[in-house]
Structure 1
Amino acid sequence: MILVVLVFSAIALFLTFVYMHQNATRLILTTIFGIALVASLVLVIENDSQHLGMTKVTTTKTVPLKSAGSSQMDMLLYQSIGTADKNRVYIYKTMTDQKKVSTTKANVNTANHVKTTTGSTKLVTKTTRWMYQSNAAKFWFGIANNDNQLIKRTNTFYIQKTWVVLSTSQAKQLSKLAKQQSTTLKAQAKVYVQNAVKTAMVKNPAMTQAQMATLEKQAAAQYQAKAMQNMIKTVKQSK
């Protein structure tokens, strides 16, 4: 509405100044329309530069976080924007059976952080926007279409220490490396488990079959975790 007043004041001021010949009336109307023109112009500038009539509103949204990787390991993936890896778009899921992954926004108003937690994995998004303080303010300035204008958005990923953060290219390399070394890793795992059982038998010759089976599972899991950590270290060191 303020733009309507601005345009109307400008037109009225021009018509009054050009076509009205009565000096007293001309002076009064010219003053009124001039003041209206300047005032509306100042208000438009203040709304645009200082967000006159608006206030900052922050909302917080929390969603569960699920692994975006296709492997059994929990992963948070990202894609670097640019060559310096200063900005990242994170790739994630909020449901295990989610077919299409979600991504964070790639703009200067969005910041992403990754933190380790002992609680549940989640994504907390805080969004701050400019919103009009009242319907009256929106009535006067809403024609500028700047309501709900984004100021900043902060995404904080809370992941457990067992999660792995990899780029999409590193995740592909990890999958490829795991396939290449699968046969070797199975053979090494078998030897690792056998040695673990032999060591345990020396310490406890009376070990039962159930205890041996539990030990074998634990040793296999330990070897698998170590092997995976080594592969992850390898792909992170690669360019």
Structure 2
Amino acid sequence: MGISASDADDSVSAGEFSARYDSFVVDLLGSIAYGELSAFVRLAADAQHAPSLRDRSVLGRMAVSEFGHYEAMCARLDEMGMDPELAMAPYQRMVDAFHERTRPADWHESLMKAYVVEAITGEFYAAIAEHLDEGTRDAIAKVRTSDAQTAELTGLLKKMLSEDPRLSSRLALWGRRLVGEALTQVQRIGAKHSFLVGLRPDATQEQAAAEVHAILSALTRNHSKRMSGLGLTA
């Protein structure tokens, strides 16, 4: 259910709550927009190392989708009267550093990174969007990898693992590193920009931290299920 200024209690004025909520939404959309833009650049670059043109097209299509997601976030920020570049700026260094820490060593690791990171970020956005107004919630709902793309990526990974079982231990370890880095990134961004504090008039940092913890736990469980589906240990 979306949040409105009328939900504010006596301790927080409607104007104060509305301003706090709007600031939260701009922060969130800015972080998503830059994340999607950087994902576009990363996937397009990783596609160059594909062993075949068909494989290259898989990440190429995902890159195109990511750019569409970026444009959707910018459009929503424009609707709010916000400059998308200014909204993204606080996240550039943080997101770029994440991708430097998780730079794939080869094509196999590129596929696994796309599989892990896209799923986790999509689920995180969906969990946060449940608390938002309808317009923002609908915009964020567009930021997800399609079921067809996920199935294609899963199929490539399973084929790759069946053809070379020696990859299993390395990719399982890589998957664990990726999920750890991704969840740490969510926590880092949340701590820096007070995600979730703006969603309730009586919200505190402690309550927001507890809610973020619950979301991270769900993300971890879902990641484990996906790794099991590939025959890998999370």
TM-score, structure 2 length as denominator?
A: 0.22
Higher strand share goes to which structure? 1
Structure possessing the higher relative contact order (Cα contacts under 8 Å, 6 or more residues apart): 2
Higher helix share goes to which structure? 2
TM-score, structure 1 length as denominator?
A: 0.22
